[in-house]
Structure 1
Amino acid sequence: MSVESTDEERVESYASRLGPTWIAGAIAAGPATMASLLAAGAGYGYTLLWVVVGSAVLGTVGQYLAARLGLLTEEGIVTTVERHLGEGWAWVLVIDVVLAAGLAQLVIMKTVADVSAVLTGVDARLWGVVWAVVLAVGLASGGYRIAELGAKLLVSLVVLAFVATALVVPIDAGAAASGLLPRIPAGLDGALVAAGVLGGAVHVTLLTMQGYTMRARGWTRADAGLARFDVGSSMLVAFGGYSLAIFLVAASVLEGPSITAVEAGRALEPTVGTYATWLFLFGLLGAAVSTLGGNTVVPPYLLADKLDWGRSIDDPRYRVLLAGVALASAAGAFLGGSFLSLLVLVLAFGLVGTPFAIVLILYLLNDPAIVDETAPLAANLGGLVLLGVALVTASTFVREQAAVVTDPLSAFVVAFAAGIGLATVLLAVKFVRAATRIGTPTET
């Protein structure tokens, strides 16, 4: 048997078993990321291209680190944190994720309800209640997968339309090249959009859920090669291509700092014609419905892990918790404002809580009392770069937000940033001290 045939068989075997990071990639490629990419391209041209490219690369790094931790510990991250760092740090992680996922849940439901209202003419608040019931019943019974399958088909059509449009619209190569130079447009809006784009790929919920999804598939450290292929193919290739296509089309066709869903849909007119807006709206609805299901399970999953409950609908306590989160999301349909703007804010808010998760994962991966394999130098360097970019982008957003606190939501973002920032600093200090002790020779 030739080496080439062996490699082909390995790729085919991997392709048939892909899953965990593709789930993360599907959540990452949701309506919030789509809105952030459209806002970045329409509002600032090619200026934020470096963030779009970097988000795919750094998202891949983040998922690789999370996957490595899950493979080496073979348990959920909350359990690992509680056993080795203590209950307090485990609760900080749970609160971080629940707040980020909870805010996202409300805004994603608003997206589903508002788009449903545009398509049908029925009041969005009524749609919010209907979708919440569908979500609760579907997830509690395991039947929501049918809705998710249809939603993913719609999203796939829209992604293909954006890719096709990117091939035919006039792209300014010179301006695009200048967009690879790292810089953030001045002001709150620029910082918000940059944080939103990066937050789509580097989000605390994606990092923490990776270990759980791998455990659900029964992966162990023997599947390390498969995990690397899974991470690279989903985040770097699929998610990266998705992000680049949407951004380039928006930067080439759209213009304006604030666009509506109808205006965004017109970006597809070069390839879809008069049906562009309708296709975009259905695709946006599909992305929201698909992401809504995945996001709903995040808070119950981590809480169940912390409380040592079962993490399936076979445990009545988990089922009630899952249904409760689903029904509570109906409140999102009553939020005011444009859902496109709120979607960008959701990702920026999630990015604020992400550095804590990154420091936590690096800590766990470099403690020989927790994992029995030393983290590769390249992995640690990648993690530090990821941490640095996340910190700079998130802090820029928070600083701009703090300067113009005018409503309860802005005040909440700033307060959350202060709390989770303090926890991140304390954890980093603990990490450095632990690393120093490990590296100090024992006296005899």
Structure 2
Amino acid sequence: MVASYFGSGSIYIASQAGVEYGYALIWAVIGAVLLGFMAQDMSARLGIFGDTLMGFIRKKIGKGPALTIALFLSLGCIAWTVALTAAVGMSVEILTGEALAWQPVALVAGVAAILTGVLKYDRVEKFVTAMMFVLLVLYIVVAGASGPSPVEVAQGFVPSLPDQGAMLLGAAILGTTALWPNFFLESILVKKKGWTTKEDLSDVRHDLSFGYIVGGIITVCIIVVSAAVLRPAGYTELTSFITPGQALAEVLGEWAMVVFLLGVIGAAFNSIVPIMWTIPYMILEAVDAPEKEQDSKSFKLIYAGGILLGMSSPIVSAVTGLSIVQMITLFPAFNGVFGLPLTAAFLFWAVNDKKTMGEHVNGWKSNLINVVLVIFATYVAISSGRGVLEAIFGGMMG
């Protein structure tokens, strides 16, 4: 689930932060990791002591409304997958010197995700964890080669907001880290991991800490590389999909370009499976289907059907006129505007519901974190919702 938050969107948002503000927003990554950890911890406690998040929603508002919410949120997961398959495709196109066009590669990425996602949970977890370690090694190597200033890096851990744009980028970092599908998944998968009692909470938190630390280090490394290489080279924005790779190649050599693109492929593909697992889990929980498990036929069919829609990135690009970079950044933003506030509000309700949680309802410290998440999500939705929709659909209407 931690792997799902670190996708191609995270790479480009972190790269933009380093290009525009140097090391100044490293602290925002630390804050985002802490908030994401706390939100998933609450989701895990809901799953252990109460119910799954969608199960709670169904019981409170009924099957029909719960299914409507599940289907609406599923659109966001499909949009994410459209962007992720496009990112894999374009990276392979560039790596092969355009010998392979990105469109068919995007379709192959979708098929590969279907085949990976129907494996048994333990195998998927091992695969995703291994991919995260590959990403960690790749970006630590590039960050070390970029020769950053240790003093300036250390200053980045001190909270500061140079201007309004920095605040928006900080919000974008938070939005890509506190990923709403994880709130549903964590409440379901705790039982997959065998975590069912209060004594298991230490294992839950160890698991989350380990994953978020790895993801946080990778994000910080990307900001460091961008600040140390792209910013001094005169880059002020990421104008195309390949801009970060080109800049790295100019300063560090072609190997850095290859590493960057391999990182994009790994991060994008790694995100597809857990994000798209969310759809069948939500839908089957919403209707209280007798078979809700990952190895059931219903689960596999819904999962495969969702990815088949998500493989439509070539069609979406042609119809909307959106570039790959625009899809990578706008579709996660769409989820931040619509999926995050809705999910954060239901999570807040669930962990404070005495009937569901019993004596394990949220304390004031956890509620403070959850209130921050709900307020942030609402702020992002109000302030950027219209702009995101116009950016996505403007090409079709123009």
- Tell me the TM-score normalized by structure 1: 0.76
CA distance in 1: counterparts of 2:73 and 2:340, whole angstroms: 9
CA distance in 1: counterparts of 2:44 and 2:205, whole angstroms: 8
2:113 corresponds to which letter in structure 1? L
1:127 corresponds to which letter in structure 2? V
Distance 1:79 1:388, change over 3 A: same
CA distance in 2: counterparts of 1:224 and 1:84, whole angstroms: 26
- Of residues 129, 140, 148, the one that matches 2:107 is 129
The offset of 1:70, in angstroms, is 1.4
Gaps of 5+ in 2: none
Distance 1:345 1:50, change over 3 A: farther
CA distance in 2: counterparts of 1:161 and 1:246, whole angstroms: 11
What's the CA shift string for 1:141-174, capped at 9, x where partnerless? 65984975774454233232244246x2236739
- Of residues 369, 375, 388, the one that matches 1:382 is 369
What's the CA shift string for 1:389-444, capped at 9, x where partnerless? 33334433226547xx36626999xxxxxxxxxxxxxxxxxxxxxxxxxxxxxxxx
1:362 aligns with 2:348: yes
Gaps of 5+ in 1: 1-23, 413-444
The offset of 1:238, in angstroms, is 2.3
- Of residues 108, 132, 137, the one that matches 1:157 is 137
2:393 match = 408
1:26-425 alignment runs, 5 A limit: 26-46=3-23, 48-73=25-50, 75-87=51-63, 90-91=66-67, 93-120=69-96, 121-140=99-118, 145=124, 148=128, 151-152=131-132, 154-165=134-145, 168-170=147-149, 173=152, 176-177=155-156, 180-182=159-161, 185-186=164-165, 193-222=169-198, 223-235=200-212, 237-254=213-230, 255-265=235-245, 273-309=253-289, 310-312=291-293, 314-336=295-317, 337-352=322-337, 353-373=339-359, 374-398=361-385, 400-401=387-388, 405=390, 408=393
1:262 corresponds to which letter in structure 2? I
The offset of 1:180, in angstroms, is 2.1
Superposition RMSD in Å: 3.2
The offset of 1:219, in angstroms, is 0.9
CA distance in 2: counterparts of 1:221 and 1:88, whole angstroms: 31
1:292 corresponds to which letter in structure 2? I
2:2 corresponds to which letter in structure 1? G
The offset of 1:104, in angstroms, is 0.2
SS in 2 for 1:371: helix
Distance 1:159 1:93, change over 3 A: farther
Q: CA contact under 8 A between 1:56 and 1:240: conserved in structure 2?
A: yes
What's the CA shift string for 1:68-112, capped at 9, x where partnerless? 211211x42111221234335523541353122111011101111
The offset of 1:334, in angstroms, is 3.5
The offset of 1:342, in angstroms, is 2.2
CA distance in 2: counterparts of 1:269 and 1:178, whole angstroms: 28
The offset of 1:325, in angstroms, is 1.6
Instruction: Specify the structure having the higher radius of gyration (Cα).
Output: 1
Q: CA contact under 8 A between 2:135 and 2:218: conserved in structure 1?
A: no
SS in 2 for 1:216: coil
1:439 match = none
Identity, % of aligned positions: 21
Aligned residues: 381
CA distance in 1: counterparts of 2:275 and 2:52, whole angstroms: 17
- Tell me the TM-score normalized by structure 2: 0.84
Distance 1:409 1:230, change over 3 A: farther
Distance 1:350 1:267, change over 3 A: same
CA distance in 1: counterparts of 2:285 and 2:246, whole angstroms: 44
1:423 match = none
Q: CA contact under 8 A between 2:7 and 2:84: conserved in structure 1?
A: no
SS in 2 for 1:257: coil
CA distance in 2: counterparts of 1:399 and 1:278, whole angstroms: 37
CA distance in 2: counterparts of 1:56 and 1:288, whole angstroms: 19
CA distance in 2: counterparts of 1:85 and 1:68, whole angstroms: 21
What's the CA shift string for 1:345-377, capped at 9, x where partnerless? 222222222122122112111121111123221
2:102 corresponds to which letter in structure 1? A
SS in 2 for 1:215: coil
Q: CA contact under 8 A between 2:71 and 2:283: conserved in structure 1?
A: no
2:22 corresponds to which letter in structure 1? G
